[in-house]
Structure 1
Amino acid sequence: MGGFSYKDIYIEDGRSVLEVNILPEKNCNFDCIFCPIGRAQNKVDTQKSFDKMDSSLRELEKKIENTKAELIFINSKGEAFVNDKIDDIVDLIKGRGLPVRLFSNGYLLGKDEYMKIANKCDEVVGELKVVTEEDFQKAQRPIKGYTLVEYISNMVTFNKQYKGKFIFEITIIRGYNDDEKSIRKIKNIINEISPDKIIIARMDDKRFEKKLGIPDERFVEISNALLNI
């Protein structure tokens, strides 16, 4: 099984963006209960080989040429670092003179081998969904041995040495991080990581929206509190 998949090209801040998923199926170091992609049958945080990578790289080249994309966004089904060709993928895009945005949940950014790859990218996105160790273990179900403290520390370590634009995406989830105590914790985490840009998101998948979604008024209130620190 192999191959990349793509979203339709779209405009963001005046640039045409080509979004590519470099994983043929979900491969992640987490198994979040609210993941829109579904369950991670095999949690993994080491690189693995996939089929059809040579043809996928050629296809990516053609996509870049045909779409005239101005930014390539590697946003995959799971953790993109798992693909052992990710370094080649980034090099191919950079070789075409285009900027790369890489989405990672952020846990692996503290490891030297992955930090080196991420440092080649113009923009790196890390994320946060819960703020207690109990919720991290029960709701995000990471690989055994992972901790929330290390998760945050890895992003802090990465961003201290990163020369590009670090984007921190925080998803507000009802019952997990929407109370005042959690918002104070998130503010402290933002200050620790010191990102270049903050994105406040919420559950927009219909399967989770009723149980985990945030009312508009509360979402605006939280967004204002976090974006103005």
Structure 2
Amino acid sequence: MNRFSYKDIYIEDGKRVLEINILPEKYCNFDCIFCPIGRSENKVDTQKSFEGMDSALRELDKIIEISKAELVFINSKGEAFVNDRIDDVIELIKSKGLPVRLLSNGYLLGKDEYKNIANKCDEVIGEIKVVTEEDFRKVQRPIEGYTLAEYISNMASFNKQYKGKFIFVITIIKGYNDDEESVKKLKDIIKEISPDKVIIERMEDERFKKKLGISDERFEEIKRSLGMVGN
């Protein structure tokens, strides 16, 4: 890994956001069938060393200065915790006086070593896509031994001690969590995790939208229903 990859600076709530990927390719503890990045050839939940990290960090230092970023969003190809220098990435950003937002699927937030890293960030994003153990194994294809119950519990326990802003992203998927019973379960999950902000999304990628997307009308109904809790 000689360098990180970046998205063009964009404005969010009046701030210049620099979005960064700190993985050379997809490394994740899940292998979701609908992942826009593709299959997880590297399905892991332990940290790995990548070559070229020192030069990548120097480049990040320069890009922060040149871009005049006001918030840095670590949004990687897979699970960012896998990079064993993620702590250094966060420390570099914080040394510039900038807030850090970290996207994690949320499963690893139950482990102390990752919890401590996430606690250094100003915002942490966790997510959920299905509401049954069967669907979790079938479509998110996690590492053997993972359970949906533990997934939810990990985010809930993390947020109870977290001092920053925890953002919970729910993706509505046709046939998996768009029925009334599933929406009720999602409400219960929101209450258990008690996030600072809830974002409701749906499948927008054209590769999956036809089969897994839901109608505008149903999407608005679900958003209204879920909007009554968690905010």
Fold shared by both chains (TM-score > 0.5): yes
Q: TM-score, normalised by structure 2?
A: 0.98
Which aligned pairs between 1:130-141 and structure 2 lie closer than 5 A?
130-141=130-141
Change (3 A) 1:39 1:2: farther
How well do the aligned residues superpose, as a CA RMSD in angstroms?
0.6
The answer (yes or no) to whether the contact 1:2–1:23 under 8 Å persists in 2 is: no
Matched residue, 1:153? 153
Residue 42 of structure 1 and its aligned partner are, at CA, apart by: 2.2
Residue 195 of structure 1 and its aligned partner are, at CA, apart by: 0.1
Task: Give ranges in structure 2 of 5+ residues lacking alignment.
Answer: none
CA offsets per residue over residues 7-66 of structure 1, 9 Å max, x none?
A: 111000111100000001000000000000000012100000111111110111111000
Matched residue, 1:68? 68
The answer (yes or no) to whether the contact 1:128–1:171 under 8 Å persists in 2 is: yes
Supply the AA of the counterpart residue of 1:39. R
- Aligned equivalents of 1:178 and 1:193: distance in 2? 20
- Aligned equivalents of 2:67 and 2:214: distance in 1? 36
Q: Number of aligned residue pairs: give it.
A: 229
- Aligned equivalents of 2:181 and 2:203: distance in 1? 20
The answer (yes or no) to whether the contact 1:18–1:72 under 8 Å persists in 2 is: yes
Matched residue, 1:172? 172
Whether 2:194 is the aligned partner of 1:218: answer: no
- Aligned equivalents of 2:200 and 2:71: distance in 1? 22
The alignment partner of 2:200 has SS state of strand
Whether 2:186 is the aligned partner of 1:208: answer: no
Residue 3 of structure 1 and its aligned partner are, at CA, apart by: 2.4
CA offsets per residue over residues 189-219 of structure 1, 9 Å max, x none?
A: 0000000000001111110000000111111
The answer (yes or no) to whether the contact 2:47–2:83 under 8 Å persists in 1 is: yes
Matched residue, 1:110? 110
Supply the AA of the counterpart residue of 1:60. L
Which aligned pairs between 1:20-99 and structure 2 lie closer than 5 A?
20-99=20-99
The alignment partner of 1:19 has SS state of strand
Task: Give ranges in structure 1 of 5+ residues lacking alignment.
Answer: none
- Aligned equivalents of 2:159 and 2:103: distance in 1? 14
- Aligned equivalents of 2:28 and 2:3: distance in 1? 17
Identity of aligned residues (%): 76
Residue 82 of structure 1 and its aligned partner are, at CA, apart by: 0.1
